[in-house]
């Protein structure tokens, strides 16, 4: 019915899914790459760099912020965004766990 049955999964699975969903869009990947590249946090520059309208960028930033992956600080008339290390590391750790649990086995299909 359009809504995920979160109650049947573990807290960890749901957390990871939320963080991944935040990253699972080319615009948000591009935004993160931009923020990381210009480690001095940017903001309205994203509207110029990517070819998306201002409300669209603002919405993508909001989703990244809701997932906790970035944080924004008001700086005069503009807003400065940057990576939020704790959650960024949490995502990295969760993914490491997932990838490390797999190794190629011979008895596979």
The residues near 57 (Cβ < 8 Å, ≥ 6 apart) are 27, 31, 46, 47, 50
**What is the per-residue binding string for a second copy in 7-46, x denoting contact by CB under 8 A?**
-xx---xx-xx--xx-xxxxx-xx-xx--xx-xxx-----
Question: Which residue is associated with the tokens 């807003």?
Answer: 79
Question: Which residue is associated with the tokens 């503009």?
Answer: 78
Return the structure tokens found at 8: 């049947």
Where does this chain bind a second copy (CB under 8 A)? 4-6, 8-9, 13-14, 16-17, 20-21, 23-27, 29-30, 32-33, 36-37, 39-41, 50-52, 71-73, 75, 80-83, 85, 88, 92, 95, 98-99, 101-102, 104-105, 107-109
């Amino acid at each position: 019915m359009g809504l995920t049955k979160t109650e049947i999964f573990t807290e960890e699975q749901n957390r990871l899914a939320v963080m991944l969903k935040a990253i699972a869009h080319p615009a948000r990947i591009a935004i993160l790459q931009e923020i990381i590249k210009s480690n001095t946090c940017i903001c309205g520059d994203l509207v110029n760099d990517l070819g998306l309208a201002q409300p669209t960028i603002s919405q993508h930033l909001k989703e990244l912020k809701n997932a906790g992956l970035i944080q924004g600080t008001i700086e005069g008339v503009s807003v400065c965004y940057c990576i939020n290390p704790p959650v960024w590391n949490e995502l990295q750790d969760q993914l490491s766990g997932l990838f490390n649990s797999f190794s190629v086995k011979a008895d596979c299909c």
